[in-house]
Structure 1
Amino acid sequence: MKTFKTIFTIIIIAFISIKTTAQNKQDKIRYAIEMADKEYKDIIRYNMNFTESETNAFWPILNEYLTKKDEVFAKEVNIFLTDYSKLSARGAENILKRMNKSEKELRALKNKYFKKIKKHLPIKKYLRFLQIDHYIEVARDFKLSSQMPLVRE
């Protein structure tokens, strides 16, 4: 559990300090995502007990998935960093569309890559991986959501 806290502490620190130029903001987001990916991999590695053949099959698929996911996640983070205090009705509609698109993209990626992973793991080990991934995602979503200001009516 300490590792979960590390992931989200890094992400939150990065988000809180993002008040500079657009390029600097994107660099900070990229850095936070890289750190989160490293911690994610460490959690998986620590909890999965892969055999050598499972390791050889699993990690290339997971690494490809995380690379694709990071592209979508960076867009999602930018949604969370929107200035909601000056949001118009049209802006709110735009954000809703972007949020729905991001969720669909992430779900499609997860389905695609997790099907590949399932082919290389025993079913119980695959379920364990899904549980760990789910726990990490729920904690990440909670932390991000708790940092997002509510839209003013």
Structure 2
Amino acid sequence: MSALSGSRNPAWVRALLSQWWVAPLTRLALVSAWLIGGVNKALHFGSAIAEQAHFGLHPPALWAALAVVVEIGGSVCVVLRRFTWLGAGGLGMLTVVAILVANDFWNQTGTPRFIALNSFFEHMGLIAALVLATMLGDVQPESGNSRA
């Protein structure tokens, strides 16, 4: 059964969403921040270690290596729809850690609190999108549309 069958969306929305390229492009867009971040950390590993130390994560080299593996590996899992639950779960857990160490609005006041609070809820939205991607990963595409 497709996620689109029985949809109450207008016909033009269903037609757009049923295009073979929409789902993979959407998955790539969803994980783009993690994928680019992981590649950037891998290419500039010293800076990645410094970032982890800045946020108080020790040992920083281990946290930096873990971030690289999870950001790249998890992104690839989501984009390719292989072990989506594992990739999205890893990205979600990494994001929870980031929320707790970098967006601790409860410890701030004024403008920094405002910025951290907004970032906190943006990251919560990304975690929710990863959950949805995992849920939709179980939905089988309509016959003849196996590239989704």
* Structure 2 length-normalised TM: 0.35
User: Which structure is larger by alpha-carbon Rg, 1 or 2?
Assistant: 2
Higher relative contact order (CA 8 A, sep 6+): 1
